[in-house]
Structure 1
Amino acid sequence: MSLKKQALSGVFWSSLQLFGTQGIGLVVSIILARLLLPAEFGLIAMLGVFMGLAVTLINSGMTSSLIRTEHVDEEDYSTVFFFNLVVSCILYGLIIFLAPFIASFYNQPVLTSVVRVYSIIFVINAFSAIQITRLNKSMNFKTQLKVSIPSLLIGCIVGVTMAYMGYGVWSLVWSAIIQSLASTMQLWYYSNWKPLWVFNREKFKFHFHYGMKLMFSGILDILFTNAYTIIIGKFYLPAQVGFYNRAENLQMFPVGAINSIIGKVTFPLFATIQNDEERLKMVYKKIMQMVLFLVTPTLILMAVVAEPLFRLLFTEKWMPAVPYFQILCFNGILYPIHSYNLQILIVKGRSDLFLKLEIVKKILTVVIILISFQFGIYGLLYGSVIGSVLCFFINTHYSGKFLNYTAWQQTKDILPIIFVSIGVGGLILVSDLVLESYYFVDFFRLISGSALGVLLYILAAYIFKLSSLFELITIAKRQ
């Protein structure tokens, strides 16, 4: 199979997997949001930083090294597998010991038992990390689809049943554990790979040397990605954490879905053509524009219709999350660009520069948080938007050197998409205000706003000749 066909096949199966899991996950999260309280979601959100840190420490960037390295054998996979497994067990024991201190930090005693049970996921996921890595390396997303959908359904059934029976936060805990367990068992069943009883020190040193810098970068990223949740959890009520978490998750639904679909393919694709500078630049540019072409209008439209959207999906008790969501939508526009720029550094083998950039950006984030925290939660949120814009220029400056594609050139290529999306969003806002003044129901406001938004955006994209529209049309015709 040619590289192009392999990439398109990867996008197709990855799309089915992501839209399937994201769609089911969204429906279930809506049901759980109606059954549970914002504070109960807030408790789980407080643990996000610890879960993220554990995953980063377990992988140590070594799974990325396996994907990037052109020639790997059974000893490579087995060595990384046993390392992941041992580290996961050590981390689980450490979390059991630290659980009371975590609960004390947030002043939430119930977190002691919650974190001790929830963290068993570390060990469960370590058993399947290599299977997933092998599937990603070969762009075999069809098998991942066969695994992820049943696992998600099983976990969701457990979560909704327990929530309905009144188990509160424990319904979220056991839903995640059962889903992880079901996924791991299926991956072992479908995978034709089993570890050898071998640990090669030289291969470990090779992958760890490359992955170590990514690991430290990942630790910094996890800490600062969850910085707002940590601060809100420390200084505000769990319900506020729940509102922020709900807003962030819904905002990340379209961003995460589109970025993950293409992102799963881009890293192995970039790795394959890493030595062809001109081709790498062309592929990167097209992917960047296409993703923004889809993400930007979606987020702006969702921000415009956020009020009827939240009331219809989550009921009135979640309405305080609306302004959080609207601000975060603008924060999410540049998220895919951050990801793809950093992927360029990784495939070029510059994990050292990757780490340096992460340190610089985290120092910048600390400064922004220290300033914006004085203005409350909204100050923090607006500060995160400013930080995202500044990080865009930092990322594109360095990756642009490898691609001969400067930050200014990248900015010029994405500004038309952003301006067109904002213009269409303004028209939809006026339309929604008119419907609201006539007391139209939320469902009708959502349907009419979405339909009008899609039509206006396609029309505007055609009038202003946005290249991504014609690229998507060409791809659709080929299919």
Structure 2
Amino acid sequence: MNQPDPEPELNGPDNPLGRSVLRGGSVLAAGTLIERLARFGRNMVLTRIIAPDQFGLMAIVLATIGLFEAITEVGVSQAVIQNKRGHLPEFLNVAWWINTVRGLAIFAVAAPLSPLIAGFYSQPPLTPILIVAFSSLIFTGMTSPKVYALQRQFRFGESVAITQGAGLLGTVLTLVLGVLWQNVWALVVGTVFEAFMRFVLSFVLCPIRPSFRIDKQSRRDLFAFMKGMLGLAFMTFLVSQADIFVLGRVVSTRVLGLYSMAVTLAMFPQSLFAKIVQPLVVPILTAFQDSDDQMRAAYLRLERLVWLFGLPMAATMMVAAAPLLTVVYGRPYAAVAVPFGIIAIYSVVYMASMVSFSVYLAMARPELQRSFTLLRGLLLVAAIYPLAVAFGPVGAASAMLGALALAMLLQIHNLKRIIGLGYVEYLGTLRAGVVAGLATAALTWLVGLLDIPLLAGAALAGLVLLAVWGVLLFRERAGFRALRAGK
């Protein structure tokens, strides 16, 4: 009988935390960068051959799929990472069955509702598109959960091969179909194919043997964690996609398409953070779950780095918004330069909130995120529709940023309760980032005054940011060494 892989001691002499983080993070970063840059290149091509209104339809499709996923999301993957028994076959078996039944149930409910959803947006062509797109949820549910158990051990090779491998294959197919069809169907088929390949690769590289025998202890552990997560993903999704849902009703699909692609570009750094940094943050913080002092010190160091490197990036994207959008997508997209800049700031604040959420996950207290998300949702509901009607994409983006920033005050209060975080301590994490951001904005503004071609101006703005980051990396080398050592 095969024995399960032992759970490694992250701080043991044979496998120190820092070495595991460095090795796993390097693999994850390399794979993710390749896959995300491929998507970036795909979008640069497709925005020039597919009309913006088709991207508007796809934005509605993705938001709708995400809504049904979020309604039923209970945090199985997070439970596998957080639980010390998460690597055991009996635990993974229960996790797989929960996700599989969930995926099949979503499709059974969502597919028949497709005509109603299309009618809500006054877009009858959406009906068959939605039915096909919903099939991706079946493959997502059947994906092997063993990949999440390996993440706790900082073994990201399989995760990269599965997630980024499927992403690359989906990107290639989408690009080929986009050139051939030049409509939304290329985007939809590529999305479904990516989900299918993720399912296939997961069982090739991280196989499990599903069994009808359900382990009672694993079921209890999963249900206890799921109870804390219940409703959290749904609320989080609504507040993160509220702009798409609302703008889908109040602006044309063309404007929605322009805005959605601008958001994709503005959130590109956050997507890298979610794929590269976030999978490392939770296991890092989990190692400190028995010490509030160590947890607080690690959290403050991570949060400071987010602001320090994120705010200069957001400053560059705000000041050079029009040239960047024009170079990446084409001249029509410069029309959404202002909301693009606002969402760039939102992206950095969102990354900071993800680090806070990681503390809750590491301490098996995901329910604490619910109050933060609820407050954020209430603020957003009150503001987004009137602002979107009055100011279009600019109003929607402003509502998203304002609600998130105000809700972060509650996040800090929650962290004070569970790890003793001081308000002044938290504000200290912002200081260096704000200074670096203002300096970057000033330098980028000066670059914009030069009488040079658009492409050269965008390139110079990027070089300014890289120069600022280089200086910051040199100054912060001691802090990075501390993280690497697991302190």
- TM-score normalised by the chain length of structure 2: 0.90
* Alignment partners' CA distance in 1, 2:99 and 2:299: 32
Could you tell me how far 1:415 is from its partner in structure 2? 2.4
Match of 2:84 among 58, 62, 70: 70
Match of 1:415 among 431, 440, 446: 431
Q: Secondary structure of 1:350's match?
A: coil
Hey, what does 1:255 align to over in structure 2?
270
Q: Give yes or no for contact 2:35–2:167 (8 Å, CA) kept in 1.
A: yes
Report matched runs for 1:43-122 at 5 Å: 43-57=57-71, 59-72=73-86, 73-122=88-137
Hey, what does 1:138 align to over in structure 2?
153
Q: Secondary structure of 1:351's match?
A: coil
* Alignment partners' CA distance in 1, 2:359 and 2:203: 31
Q: Give yes or no for contact 2:247–2:388 (8 Å, CA) kept in 1.
A: no
* Alignment partners' CA distance in 1, 2:428 and 2:454: 37
Could you tell me how far 1:219 is from its partner in structure 2? 0.5
Could you tell me how far 1:114 is from its partner in structure 2? 0.5
Hey, what does 1:431 align to over in structure 2?
447
Q: Give yes or no for contact 2:100–2:141 (8 Å, CA) kept in 1.
A: yes
Match of 1:154 among 169, 184, 204: 169
Q: Secondary structure of 2:145's match?
A: helix
Hey, what does 1:442 align to over in structure 2?
454
* Alignment partners' CA distance in 1, 2:347 and 2:303: 14
Match of 1:455 among 467, 472, 478: 467
Unaligned 5+ segments in structure 2 are: 1-14
Q: Give yes or no for contact 1:58–1:84 (8 Å, CA) kept in 2.
A: no
Hey, what does 1:391 align to over in structure 2?
407
Could you tell me how far 1:371 is from its partner in structure 2? 5.0
Q: Give yes or no for contact 1:213–1:354 (8 Å, CA) kept in 2.
A: no
Q: Give yes or no for contact 2:114–2:131 (8 Å, CA) kept in 1.
A: yes
- CA change 1:100–1:77 in 2 (3 A) is same
* Alignment partners' CA distance in 1, 2:407 and 2:252: 30
Query: Does 2:398 correspond to 1:382?
Result: yes
Q: Give yes or no for contact 1:62–1:80 (8 Å, CA) kept in 2.
A: yes
Q: Give yes or no for contact 1:17–1:149 (8 Å, CA) kept in 2.
A: yes
Q: Give yes or no for contact 2:35–2:164 (8 Å, CA) kept in 1.
A: yes
Q: Give yes or no for contact 1:289–1:413 (8 Å, CA) kept in 2.
A: yes
Q: Give yes or no for contact 2:73–2:234 (8 Å, CA) kept in 1.
A: no
Could you tell me how far 1:274 is from its partner in structure 2? 0.5
- One-letter amino acid of the counterpart of residue 97, structure 2: F
Deviation per CA, 1:324-381: give whole Å up to 9, x if none.
2112112222111111112212322323332233222212222232553453222222
Query: Does 2:221 correspond to 1:206?
Result: yes
Query: Does 2:413 correspond to 1:405?
Result: no
* Alignment partners' CA distance in 2, 1:225 and 1:190: 32
Hey, what does 2:250 align to over in structure 1?
235
* Alignment partners' CA distance in 2, 1:375 and 1:388: 20
Unaligned 5+ segments in structure 1 are: none
Identity %: 16
Hey, what does 1:181 align to over in structure 2?
196
Could you tell me how far 1:184 is from its partner in structure 2? 1.7
Query: Does 2:275 correspond to 1:267?
Result: no
- CA change 1:134–1:389 in 2 (3 A) is same
Could you tell me how far 1:406 is from its partner in structure 2? 2.2
* Alignment partners' CA distance in 2, 1:195 and 1:166: 39
Deviation per CA, 1:396-450: give whole Å up to 9, x if none.
11123322222332122212212321222122112212x2xx2x21221122222
Structure whose residues are more often helix by fraction:
1
Could you tell me how far 1:253 is from its partner in structure 2? 0.8
Hey, what does 2:476 align to over in structure 1?
468
- CA change 1:42–1:212 in 2 (3 A) is farther
* Alignment partners' CA distance in 2, 1:386 and 1:412: 21
Query: Does 2:28 correspond to 1:11?
Result: no
Match of 2:53 among 27, 35, 39: 39
- TM-score normalised by the chain length of structure 1: 0.91
Q: CA RMSD in A?
A: 2.3
- One-letter amino acid of the counterpart of residue 150, structure 2: L
- One-letter amino acid of the counterpart of residue 149, structure 2: R
Deviation per CA, 1:231-289: give whole Å up to 9, x if none.
10012111121122111110111122134311101112222320122221222122222
Could you tell me how far 1:59 is from its partner in structure 2? 4.4
